[in-house]
Amino acid sequence: MDIVLVTTIIASLFLVIGAAEPLAARLRLPYSVILATLGILIGASATFFLQTELTDALNPVAEAILALPIRSNVFLYVFLPTLLFQATLGMNLRRMLDDWVPILVLAIVAVVVATLSVGYALAWASALPLAACLLIGAIVSTTDPSAVVSIFRSISAPQRLTRIIEGESLLNDAAAIALFGLFMGFVMLGVPDPELSDAVAQFPVLIAGGALTGWLAARLAVWIMAIVNQHELAQLSISVALPYLAYIGAEQMIGASGVIAVVAAGITMNLTAPGRLPPQTWTNLRELWGVLAHWAGALIFILAALLIPRLLEEVRLGDFALVAVVVLAAIAARAVILFGLLPILSFFGTSPPVERPYRVVILWGGLRGALTLALALAVTESFRIPVETKRLVGILATGFTLFTLIVQGTTLRWVIRRLGLDRLSPIDEALSRQVIAVALQTVREYVATTTENYDLSRDIVRSEAKRFSTRLDDAVKSAEDSADILDRDRITLGLIALAGQERDTILLRVRDRTISARIAEQVLSDAERLIEGARTQGRSGYQRAARRSISYGRTFRMAVFLHNRVRLSRPLALMTADRFELLLSQRLILRDLGDFIQARIRRIHGRRVADLLQDLLSRRNDAIETALEGLRLQYPGYAEELEQRFIRRTALRIEEREYTAMRDDGLIGAEVFTTLMQDIAGRRILEEVRPNLDIALQRAELIRQLPLFADLDEAAQKRLGRALKTRYVNADDIVVRKDSPARNVFFIASGAVELVTARQTLLLGRGEMFGQMAVLSKKNPRAMVRAIAPSTFLVLDETRFRRLLERSNSLRNAVRASAEKRGIPPSQIMPGAAE
């Protein structure tokens, strides 16, 4: 084939891609529907011009279009890795992990249910063997959520709902391809049918092997990219190679799932690369992959649509009935998931409640895309598949895809309008009015400061200021006079605005590099949880998200377990250092929000709402200070090192701004500026390296600081350090339950607890202990102990505590004083204590 002609055709396809997006926006149709329609028209036109005698001038072009080397492997090895990898890079994985249960269940169960539903329905309605029917079911079971997600974003649907749909689509491709490979083996001629037990046993290998391959490939890629840190183009090139090598390595070398490998590689890079790459490089990398995925997604739709006329060449009248069976069975299977399984998950709290209108839209928006056509093409290309099976697979998969694109895709917005999802709720309308008022106030302040720098006529400035003030007053009055908004909703609106401002402040700090890229994603995820919590549950949701942002999570507890049980301290050291940096960043950010409450929210929502929000902000500040002070006490000196690092990073940013301003003012030339910026870049690399936290040394220092262990010699303190175990608890956690077995004594390293008995309530803080009374009296505790702040305890078992008590006068005196404080004669718990 002439290379000039092929290049011309591919370049022309890019012109089609460029025209498709504005056309879709103008016609208010999903982008994928327009692409598929254009692809079908191109393919049908090429066939028409080749067969008609009207003109022969276009025959070479038509022949070139129809002879394009479009094979199923092109879709699976060229386009699919690009789409999957970009999808993982573009996702907020920390937020998606919050919903891993519904995502995993929906992705796997939905594919299995759809495969079985379509397969058994076709087996009942056609003469095809059951294995071939199940093969068709696997082919049509994967969904393309792009249309639904884009529309959900345009109507401000809950973000959590959108994340679940995206996550489900990302993983159901792997499940569908795995089932496709299983049933393909049963319908191929000349190949022994695989044993079902062997096939089922192969699934863990497919998943685990793919995940391990992707993880190793991504870790190696990130390591190499960190080495070539000064060469951005090299880093981008490595990222382009990663998904393809992971896919090919998993598929061809170890026989695992290439899809899982690419997803695992993308997840690994998403979680690790931001902390190893410069922020601008990471931003450019994601933008590059966004462009590549846009082109790949568009090309895969157009090229797959070019094949549709060819796949439908042998269609018969009876095939339309079978297409209807596939459509009904697939829709019924998805309805079972959405209206059966999803409410059950919501009932047990593993999935967010999804309102019925949204479930209807998800059901009707279950469009099928190019992957369905690619799998069908793989069947039609195989010479081992019976001819009739190949014909029906091509026709049914193509017919079903066309139905979802042409019927469901073109009517999706109409369904949304009928359900009323295109109309804002009262609270969203009030929020929009508030946003306008806040934005106009910001504009007025900016205009007032910038117009002073220009030599403009005072009359013009005065007339425009008067005109703008009228618009601003109307916007503020509209926001204030929302009579249909309750005070509770005004608080919610204020919290949403406050959380939004917090997110904007974080982004500004990230751009200024005063917040490191390592924790930027986590801080942004916490801010998004605040926004989502305020939107869905008001004040209680906001407070719950705020508490979560400083609590000890499951991964932290797992790191503590590894440290205590396996003596693997590195995960705990890294997570503790992350916690230090996170708390310091949150404290920095919250201090910028007080002015926003007074300048913006107070004017719109009044003094009461502003004071309430200020009180919530103060409580968050106090909680962060308490958690930070606990860490300072536990790891003395480390917070100071991080604060010094923050000051140096801030100074570098200010220095960079000064040099940029001097260049813009013409005070320094390009060569001098480049030299200065290279110097700053070198110093910034040094400041990006965070100080190491040595937990072992810090624990020894902590033991020396506690007065209870002051009279122990150095050897005894080292032995005690090895015997003590660390336990972290969140505020309101129950540490010791009443009447539970007495086995341990707790020393408070940081934080505070509340000890509640039938007669009194005691507050204990750093350096104090509890549990010793029950251990020494050999009775179950008569008190309940609850943490009133994020706390860290050093825990000693009964045997070691008794041995320590015999050697330490300070500890015996503390036990005696504690007994007297609670009204217990010391002689009851320590023989000879009264002496």
pLDDT digits (tens, 9 = 90+) for 48-88: 777 776 666 667 777 777 777 677 777 778 888 888 888 78
Residue 252, pLDDT > 50, answer yes
Percent of the chain predicted with pLDDT > 70: 81
Specify the 3-state DSSP secondary structure of 196: helix
**DSSP per-residue letters across 213-238:** HHHHHHHHHHHHHHHTTT-HHHHHHH
- Region 431-447 average pLDDT: 68
pLDDT tens sequence across 637-656: 677 777 777 788 778 878 88
Residue 175, pLDDT > 80, answer no
Amino acid at position 201, single letter: A
Rounded Cα–Cα distance for residues 134 and 118 (Å): 7
Q: Are 821 and 813 in contact (CB under 8 A)?
A: no
Rounded Cα–Cα distance for residues 812 and 711 (Å): 11
**DSSP per-residue letters across 322-384:** HHHHHHHHHHHHHHHIIIIIHHHHHHTTSS----HHHHHHHHHT----HHHHHHHHHHHH-TT
For β-strands 784-787 and 725-729, DSSP reports them as unpaired
DSSP class of 811: H
Q: In which residue are the tokens 């751009």 written?
A: 511
Residue 835, pLDDT > 50, answer no
Confidence of residue 242 (pLDDT cuts 50, 70, 90): very high
pLDDT tens sequence across 474-484: 776 766 665 45
- Region 572-581 average pLDDT: 80
Q: Are 159 and 130 in contact (CB under 8 A)?
A: no
Residue of 569, 103, 154 lying closest to 345 (CA atoms)? 103
- Region 291-314 average pLDDT: 78
Element (H, E) at 770: strand 769-770
Q: What are phi and psi of 473, to 5 degrees?
A: -60, -40
Question: What does the block give as tokens for 82?
Answer: 């690009």
Q: What are phi and psi of 325, to 5 degrees?
A: -65, -45
Bridge partners of 795, per DSSP, are 725, 746
Rounded Cα–Cα distance for residues 222 and 274 (Å): 10
Residue 264, pLDDT > 70, answer yes
Residue 470 burial by Cβ neighbours in a 10 Å radius (0-12, 13-18, 19+):
exposed
Distances (CA, A) of 748 to 209, 636, 763: 45, 15, 12
* CB neighbour list of residue 307: distance below 8 Å, 6 or more residues apart: 43, 70, 373, 377
114-123, 342-351, 591-600, 780-789, range with greatest mean pLDDT:
114-123
- Region 583-598 average pLDDT: 82
pLDDT tens sequence across 126-156: 888 888 888 888 888 877 666 566 666 665 5
DSSP class of 828: G
Residue of 722, 764, 732 lying closest to 746 (CA atoms)? 764
pLDDT tens sequence across 729-779: 777 788 888 877 778 888 887 777 888 876 777 778 777 888 887 777 777
- Region 545-566 average pLDDT: 78
Instruction: Give pLDDT, residue 834.
Output: 41
DSSP class of 251: I
